[in-house]
């Protein structure tokens, strides 16, 4: 193992507080949060059990590792929650001035659709 890799090799956690492994050296059964999500799992409220460290831009980088044995299936949104989200997104596309539901989200800086904010651009009238 190179000196670079050895700097982050702390499987007992004496130096960094958590068991620490160099990049691509974590033992089987420990995965990142992103890997849990890809597998349809979630940490289940458990804290990280280890970490991976490497040298990155601006200093040392850390990725927390979670145990696959403690992971639980991630929660799925209920039909009621999905309906509420769809309703909220539709409200963001509806112009309060003209009441038309647009194919795009209305910018909060304008507060209304593009046609209501700058009618001269869409009617062909001279400015």
Q: What is the mean pLDDT of the chain?
A: 89
Return the sign of the alpha-carbon dihedral for residues 72, 73, 78, 81.
positive
- Please give the angle made by the CA atoms of 57, 31 and 10, to the nearest 5 degrees: 65
Three-state secondary structure of 32-81:
CHHHHHHCCEECCCCCCCEEEEEEECCEEEEEEEEECCCCEECCCCCHHH
Taking only the tens place, the pLDDT of each residue in 30-76 is 999 999 999 999 998 999 999 999 888 888 899 999 999 999 999 99
pTM (two decimals): 0.64
Taking only the tens place, the pLDDT of each residue in 63-99 is 999 999 999 999 999 999 999 999 999 999 999 999 9
Token pair of 68 as six digits? 């696959």
Q: Residue 1's pLDDT is what?
A: 61
Q: Max Cα separation, the chain?
A: 74
Q: Residue 25's pLDDT is what?
A: 87
């Amino acid at each position: 193992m190179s000196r670079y890799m050895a700097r982050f090799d702390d499987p007992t956690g004496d130096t960094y507080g958590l068991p620490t492994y160099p990049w691509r050296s974590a033992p089987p059964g420990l995965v990142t949060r992103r890997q849990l999500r890809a597998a349809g799992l979630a940490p289940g409220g458990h804290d990280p059990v280890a970490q991976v460290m490497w040298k990155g831009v601006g200093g040392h980088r850390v990725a927390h590792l979670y145990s696959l044995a403690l992971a639980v299936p991630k929660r799925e949104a209920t039909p009621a929650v999905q309906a509420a989200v769809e309703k909220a997104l539709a409200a963001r596309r509806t112009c309060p001035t003209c009441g038309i539901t647009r194919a795009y989200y209305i910018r909060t800086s304008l507060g209304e659709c593009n046609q209501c904010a700058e009618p001269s651009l869409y009617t062909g009238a001279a400015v």
